[in-house]
Amino acid sequence: MEACALTIGKFEGIHLGHQALLTEVTHQAKQLGIASAAMIFEPHPYIFLNDAQYKPLFTNDERSHLLENTGLDYIFYCLFDKNLVELSPHNFCEMLFDRYNAKLVIVGENYRFGKDRAGDIALLQSEAAKHDAKVQVAPTCRGGILPPENMTQPIISTSNIRKYLAENNLAEANRQLGFPFFIMGEVAKGKQLGRTIGFPTLNIYPTDEKFLPTDGVYATQTIVNGTTYRGVTNIGRRPTVDNNSKVRSVETHLLDYTGSDLYGEQIKTELLEFIRPEYRFNSLDELKTQIAKDVLIAEKIGDGTQ
């Protein structure tokens, strides 16, 4: 393995804090004339240690999509299992400096590692010196920037973003992410009822591993084959047309699309603003009337007039 500047973490959201860290890694790697790399634990440590039902913000495919534009030379996916959990801090350092040939390790200021999280920054620095390597500590990111900064700004964190999404606060969630929260997937056939009421939809069915925000209707934009279309998206179980469904779907009506069916195509739907909760209507006519109202709201959001 060639020498590298390495950062380590879960990188669940690739939010502004992560982006600042990855930018620093690539910058320092160029300065040193070595490769840039990130070690990402897989599966998510919280799944292994705390809750097998935990759903990360983004699937592996979605996270890979986000990492494509970071400029990293290498991404190492490190298996997070019992063996890694039981690894002593000393042996963890040996892995970083011997196996991955890290000449610079960049971590957050509260970084802990090894069995029982017994390893700290001081130990990491001590072990790095034995391998002619260095450690750089990145300060906590607030407000999307590293210090000097306004300390009254909220800390950028995945847990905060999850909370904002659960509270339908898309504005703050998207601000901390640095991009709109999105769902990627392959367009699948549904019951095709939307086209019978004049609102055909693109249906995707995210895996059980994907975090989804509150059920409801959202103003969105969807990227199809490189083109972005405004839309209205329903996340939920479609109680009006499928009263017993246990499967959550993501159904998007594109406002400006007039092309052919897109079954089998990969699309990316970005959530811009929460419009309303998901309701069960008494008839398809009531549903049609409400969707027409949702479309008007989405158009105003897209035009910046609301």
- List, by residue number, the catalytic residues: 251
Q: Which two tokens stand for residue 21?
A: 């860290």
- Residue 284 in contact with residue 193, Cβ under 8 Å? yes
Q: Which two tokens stand for residue 138?
A: 């990145």
Residue 68, classed as helix, strand or coil, is coil
Q: What is the DSSP string of 227-253?
A: EEEEEEEEEE--TTT-TT----EEEEE
Q: For the chain, how many residues are written?
A: 306
| Cα torsion through 98, 101, 104, 110, rounded to 10 | -50
What is the chain's alpha carbon radius of gyration, rounded to the nearest angstrom? 22
> How far from 206 is each of 8, 196, 203, 265, CA to CA, in Å?
28, 24, 10, 14
